[in-house]
């Protein structure tokens, strides 16, 4: 059994104690590097987070363009907009809104 010394800061710093505990658990399961596990987790979370951010930004832009033109989305249209996660469709809707289509026409475009 491998005995690692406990760093002094782990005795008074809760985050250092937490990191030490995670390192020990990872070593027991065969993963020796906490930083590599954290980096792998961050990489897995980045792509979906970026995609969600692009979708939210496209929705926001579309709502802003329509609002600037005086178009008000009813509850059904707003629900359709919020339900859409297809960035290509949102881009087409935004192009239609920029071309002057009404909110109803924009959201009918596929």
State which residues form the domain around 17.
9-108
pLDDT in tens, 22-33: 677 666 666 656
Q: Average the pLDDT over each of 56-60, 76-80, 105-109 and give the range with the smallest value.
A: 105-109
Residue 31 lies in a domain: yes
By CB atoms closer than 10 A (0-12, 13-18, 19+), residue 58 is buried
Tally of domains in the chain: 1
pLDDT in tens, 69-88: 888 889 999 999 999 999 88
pTM summary value: 0.58
Residue 24: count other Cβ atoms within 10 Å of its Cβ. Answer: 13
Contact yes or no for 107/81 (Cβ under 8 A): yes
Residue 4 lies in a domain: no
Residue 1 lies in a domain: no
């Amino acid at each position: 059994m491998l005995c690692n010394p406990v760093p002094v800061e782990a005795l008074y710093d809760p985050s250092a104690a937490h990191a030490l505990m995670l390192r020990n658990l990872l070593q027991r399961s065969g993963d020796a590097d906490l930083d590599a596990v954290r980096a792998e987790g961050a990489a897995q979370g980045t792509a979906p987070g970026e995609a969600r951010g692009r979708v939210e930004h496209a929705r926001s832009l579309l709502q802003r363009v329509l609002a600037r033109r005086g178009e008000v989305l009813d509850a059904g249209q707003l629900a359709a907009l919020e339900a859409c996660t297809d960035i290509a469709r949102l881009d087409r809707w935004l192009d239609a809104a920029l071309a002057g289509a009404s909110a109803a026409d924009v959201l009918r475009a596929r």
